[in-house]
Amino acid sequence: MAERFEKGEMLRLEDFMSLAREGKDVKLSVSLSKQTFAQKVHPGDTEEMRAELDMYMLLADYSFNVGSWVKKVSKIYVAGAVGEPLNAGRQNVHVANERLRMDYKRLKEAYIKFEEQYFS
């Protein structure tokens, strides 16, 4: 595992959980964000269809410290359309927070300590 880390290979949350279970001191901080982007779409038959759709994604940046190593892992929890109905936006936040809770539970079961954050 240490060799993969030193080579800078992409790592997943599970890799850090394994390190913690092996007895390594794994420190973690979590940062949440909402990023917007334009999604290219196939133009429709009518002029009302646009070539791009404004989208957003709710994501978490996990910053892991293991000894002198620092690695950031980003994970998308939900994506949606900008301007979607308010109820759909609230539902997306709820889904993202439930997915976060599942990951937080797994991280805690691996004895990794951190402060939980949620989307609002």
Q: How many CB atoms lie within 10 A of CB 34?
A: 13
Q: How many residues does the chain have?
A: 120
Greater model confidence, 67 or 95:
95
pLDDT digits (tens, 9 = 90+) for 8-32: 665 899 999 999 999 999 999 999 9
What would you measure as the largest C-alpha separation in the chain, in angstroms? 60
Query: Which of helix, strand or coil describes residue 60?
Result: strand
Q: Which of 101, 54, 69, 61 is nearest to 5 (CA)?
A: 69
* Beta strand ranges found along 1-120 (DSSP E): 26-40, 52-66, 69-81
Average the pLDDT over 111-117 and give the result: 95
> Quick one: pLDDT at residue 11?
82
Q: Average pLDDT of the chain?
A: 87
Residue 26: what residue type? V
Residues 6+ away with beta carbon under 8 Å from 41: 49, 50, 51, 52, 53
pTM (2 d.p.)? 0.81
Per the structure block, which two tokens stand in for 32? 């949440």
Burial string for 104-113 (b: 16+ CB within 10 Å, else e) reads beebeebebe
